Structure formats: structure tokens, C-alpha cells
Amino acid sequence: LCARGELLTQLLVTQPELLGALASPANFVAHKRKRDFRPELAPVFAPRLGRAERKDGLRQIKQAQELGITWRMLLGVTDAERFSLEMTALADAAVATAWQMALEETAAEHGVPRDEAGAMIPAAIIGIGKFGGRELTTGSDLDLFVVYQRPGWTDGLASIEAHVFYGRAVETLSGLLGDITSAGIVFPVDLRLRPGSKGSGFATSLDAVEQYYREWADPWERQTLTRARLVGGDPRLGRQLRKLLDALVYGARALPPDLKEMRALRERMEKELGKESPGRLHVKFGRGGLVDVEFITQALQMLHGPRLPAIRRANIIQALSAIKAAGLLPAEDGDALTAHYRFLRRVSAGLRLFGARPADILEPAGPLPGRLAKSLDYGSRKEFLDDYRRRTAWVRALYDRVVARDGRHREDTQ
């Protein structure tokens, strides 16, 4: 186990008691879901625990569960794709637990937010990016935002407006999950992709979400909504919000995708974040990397999603399967793109497991290609690197055909 990743080694050195937990029968279950992780997190609500103890408890339980998820993958009980699904299920459970704690803490000071009729004002949590697509891996951030239903005030003595209440609850949620303590971290929380970002509070009303995306959002912000998923909070509001977000991306009033702008954004990401050179490859932001596959998928979704609801999937592999079934990509291209995406995901997960810093950086002359080659069953590091370059070149060529240089969708991909 330790030979397969520095992060696991560090965890077991600092918390050797976790090693015994690996023999638990629960670690040989084929696939664990959110409902399987919620009971594991329940002990943090024990009345005897103070806030700091609850916070550390979240971290300890998460680390033990992540170790079990990784252990199952290394044993072959699950594959890399299932690993990401289980990591996301763990994150969903952690968010639900931390959100309950955050609401209780905020309500204890200010009361519960209510509208003019006295009805409680609910809120929902939306995950986007890899979190929304159920594609988390070791060290992934949780990109999310919180939406509350309508304006109002809390019913406590220290009454505050609903947007302030939920803004404070979001800050508390972020700290419960993302603060680094002596017990580590649960998941880093990234709120930068929320509607309005720095120009808004940490929580947004339902009406303000619609107004922002219709009137002020940049094209790339609407593009992120292709990966939106309800991850917590009030289910009824979540369904209402899901319909709204679909309408913003795919509805009759939705703006058509600007592929020229999409390509310009991708070029900026490649230049500013990828920064590739012969001695430095970037699995996520480099040419033919993970983001190329995501942009191909999102371009086809935004172009054809208005008339083809089946392709509106937050998960890239599921979306590609639906895109191929709809005939938007030739079957051979759809199969190859899916295979290359899975390969890149395995490389990314391997780099993180081996403790690559920064994450997703692959240095051909460094030690990691050799370790990756062995873990991915290649005969040599050269064979692995040659295959990596072949696959990413293929992905970039398809990207150039789909997100065409003149901003139009080429006929050969329709």
C-alpha cells in the first residue's frame, strides 16, 4: 500500500491506528454511496463534543474513509472511475454533515430565516466542476455555491436578513471542511465560481441567480453550469433550482454558445495555467489534456442540448456516452475520446496519489513517469510517455475540429 503513494504513507505514519481499520469488511464492499458514509460521520454530533472536537472528528473520519476508498481501488475491488464516485459520495456526505452543523450554529445565535408569511426559507447547495460531475480524486477542491429561496429575516433576538444568515452559514461550512487543523483537512472549499463571485455575498437568492446569469454572466460562467449538480440542502428547492439552471443553459431564452470565446478562454488557460514545455507536461490544462475533453463535451452539450435533453449530463463520461448515442460524434471518435479521458483521469489520480506538487504536473525526466508506467501496466517509462503524447495529440486534434478556429462547429462533427 505504502509503495503506491506518498500521501497514504504520510497518513499511516501520522495515524497508524488507521491501518487496522483497513481489514474491516466495509472496505471490501463493491461500491459505497452517500447513504453508506452518513452513518460513519454521525459521531460528530455527539452532545459531549465541543466545536473543535467536532471539527477534528470530521477530519479523522474523512481520512479513515478516504483510506478505505483508496485501499479498495488498489486491491482491485473498484476501478479509478468508481474511486472518483466514492470520493464524491464521501464529499456529499461530509458537506451534508457540515451544512447541518453550520445551520445549527448560525441559528443558535440568530434564529431561523423566515419570510413575511412566517414560512422557513430553505437553501440548496450546488456543486460544479469535478464535484458536480462526481469526478473527485485525492486532494480535489469542492467547487460549490449556495442559493436560498427568497428574502426574509431570522426569528431570533439578534435578527439578521436571510442573505446574511446564509452567508455566515456558508463561511462556517467552508471552515468546517476547509480549515487546516492539527487533524488535517476534510476538503478544500472553493466559492469563486458562485454567481457574482467577489462582487456578491457567499449566498445568493433564487431570483438573483436567474438575473445574474441572464444579464451579467460571462459565457464561461454559463458554461460551468453544464456541470451543476444538487449536492445538499433542501431537495424541493434543489429541484426548482435544477430546472432554472437547465433553462439558463439549454432553454429557449438561453444564449447560444460562443465557440470563438470558448477557444480564446482555452488558449488563456493553456498559456497561463498549463505552461507546458518539453520538460513539463500538464495533465489537466495542457494540450490534449482533461480540459480539452471537457470543452469538447461542453461545446456539444451547449450546441445540441436544447433539443437533446439526454446529453445534459454533469459527468463527462456519461455525457460522452449520450453524445455518441445521439450521433453527435462518430462511434469510433466517441469511444476513443472516452478511453483517452479515462486514461488522463488515471494519470491525474496517480500523480496525486504519488504526491506530485503541484498536482497534475508530469515531468518526463522526473521519477514519476516510471512509477506511473509501472502502476498503469506499461513495459517502460518510454512506452508510457509515448502513449501519453499520442493520446493527447489525438484529443487536441478532435478539439480543433469541434471547437473550430473560426468559431463554427465543423460539419464533420455534427
Contact 101, 213 (CB under 8 A): no
Cell numbers at residue 319, please?
455525457
Amino acid letter, residue 188: P
CB atoms under 10 Å from CB of 396, counted, come to: 16
Amino acid letter, residue 297: T
Cell numbers at residue 105, please?
450554529
Amino acid letter, residue 286: G
Contact 123, 81 (CB under 8 A): no
Using alpha carbons only, what angle is made at residue 254 by residues 251 and 255, rounded to the nearest 5 degrees?
A: 150
Map residue 62 onto helix, strand or coil.
Answer: helix
Query: How many Cα atoms occupy the beta-carbon half-sphere of 210 within 13 Å?
Result: 14
Contact 128, 91 (CB under 8 A): no
Q: Quick check: bond before 39 cis, omega within 30? A: no
* pLDDT in 10s for each residue of the chain, 414 residues: 554 555 566 656 666 666 666 656 666 666 788 998 999 899 998 888 888 999 999 999 998 888 888 878 877 778 888 999 999 999 999 999 999 999 999 999 999 999 999 999 999 999 999 999 999 998 899 999 999 999 999 999 999 999 999 999 999 999 999 999 988 999 999 999 999 876 678 999 999 999 999 999 999 999 999 999 999 999 999 999 999 999 999 998 888 888 999 999 999 999 999 999 999 999 999 999 999 999 999 999 999 999 999 999 999 999 999 999 999 999 999 999 999 999 999 999 888 888 777 889 999 999 999 999 998 999 999 999 999 999 999 999 999 999 865 434 444 444
Domains of the chain: 2-250 (3.30.460.10), 259-413 (1.20.120.330)
Among candidates 389, 386, 352, which has minimal Cα distance to 368?
A: 352
* Beta-strand runs (E) in 128-228: 142-148, 153-154, 189-190, 203-205
Amino acid letter, residue 4: R
pTM: 0.90
Contact 223, 112 (CB under 8 A): no
DSSP letters for 344-360: HHHHHHHHHHTT-SSTT
What is the rounded CA–CA span in Å between residue 139 and residue 358? 11
Q: Which residues contact 273 (CB under 8 A, 6 or more apart)?
A: 282, 284, 285
CB atoms under 10 Å from CB of 368, counted, come to: 18
